[in-house]
């Protein structure tokens, strides 16, 4: 929905000349996307020098095949940012309404399904109710890692994370049982 906000500044020619540069709009959506992309890349510090060298040499090809989860997360955020701007720019012609009016019901349905999913499958309230920063910053990376683990990504890391998650779940359930008894 932030993609439907007015530009904060004119898009520099160097950005406009990139592939899909016509979708680069420096609005609030760009600020949010930049923060997420920077955070995810900082989670994988060894990738940053490679990305910086790529920008300097204008060789973008390896950015399309990220070597780390953080850079993959950043690439997905960038693709989402471009898609949001595409919807924002084309919604008036395609749907006869502003982009935010297209995005709002999508967001409401997605959040509703997420709350239902947490209640039905996890039998607990969503993290959003416990920690907003965890829900908005950490959870998307968690979901990406879960998908990658399901595809066989870094099995040794998966084993360590899974072991710790089981311990955390046991502690959570013990605390919940203790709280109900009190």
The verdict on residue 100 lying in a domain is yes
Write down the pLDDT at residue 108. 94
C-alpha separations of 138 from 70, 127, 131, 161, 181 in Å: 12, 10, 10, 15, 32
The verdict on residue 179 lying in a domain is no
Q: Can you give the pTM of this predicted structure?
A: 0.72
In angstroms, the CA 37 to CA 96 distance is 32
The verdict on residue 41 lying in a domain is yes
What's the mean pLDDT in 135-159? 85
Evaluate if residue 65 carries a pLDDT over 70: no
Q: In terms of residue numbers, what domain contains 20?
A: 2-151
Write down the pLDDT at residue 48. 47
Cβ atoms 72, 51 nearer than 8 A: no
Confidence of residue 58 (pLDDT cuts 50, 70, 90): very low
pLDDT above 70 covers a percentage of the chain that reads 85
What are the pLDDT digits (tens) for 85-126?
999 999 989 999 998 999 999 999 998 998 888 888 877 777
The verdict on residue 54 lying in a domain is yes
The verdict on residue 175 lying in a domain is no
The verdict on residue 47 lying in a domain is yes
Write down the pLDDT at residue 71. 84
Task: Name the CA radius of gyration of the chain, rounded.
Answer: 20
Cβ atoms 23, 85 nearer than 8 A: yes
Closest by Cα among 64, 67, 90, 61 to 76: 64
In angstroms, the CA 121 to CA 20 distance is 39
Task: Say how many domains are in the chain.
Answer: 1
Write down the pLDDT at residue 53. 47
Write down the pLDDT at residue 67. 56
In angstroms, the CA 26 to CA 12 distance is 9
Evaluate if residue 83 carries a pLDDT over 90: yes
Cβ atoms 144, 69 nearer than 8 A: yes
């Amino acid at each position: 929905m932030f993609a439907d906000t007015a530009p904060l500044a004119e898009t520099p020619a160097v950005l406009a000349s990139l592939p899909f540069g016509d979708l680069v709009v420096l609005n609030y959506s760009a600020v949010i996307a930049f923060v997420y992309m920077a955070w995810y890349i900082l989670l994988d510090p060894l990738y940053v020098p490679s990305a910086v060298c790529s920008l300097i040499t204008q060789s973008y090809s390896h950015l399309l095949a990220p070597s780390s989860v953080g850079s993959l997360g950043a690439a997905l955020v960038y693709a989402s940012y471009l898609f949001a701007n595409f919807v924002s720019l084309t919604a008036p012609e395609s749907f006869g309404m502003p982009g935010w009016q297209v995005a709002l019901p999508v967001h409401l349905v997605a959040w509703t399904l997420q709350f239902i999913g947490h209640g039905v499958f996890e039998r607990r309230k969503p993290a959003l109710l416990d920690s907003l920063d965890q829900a908005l910053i950490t959870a998307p990376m968690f979901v990406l890692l879960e998908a990658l683990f399901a595809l066989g990504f870094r099995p040794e890391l998966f084993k360590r994370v899974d072991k710790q998650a089981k311990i955390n779940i046991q502690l959570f359930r013990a605390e919940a049982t203790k709280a109900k008894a009190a």
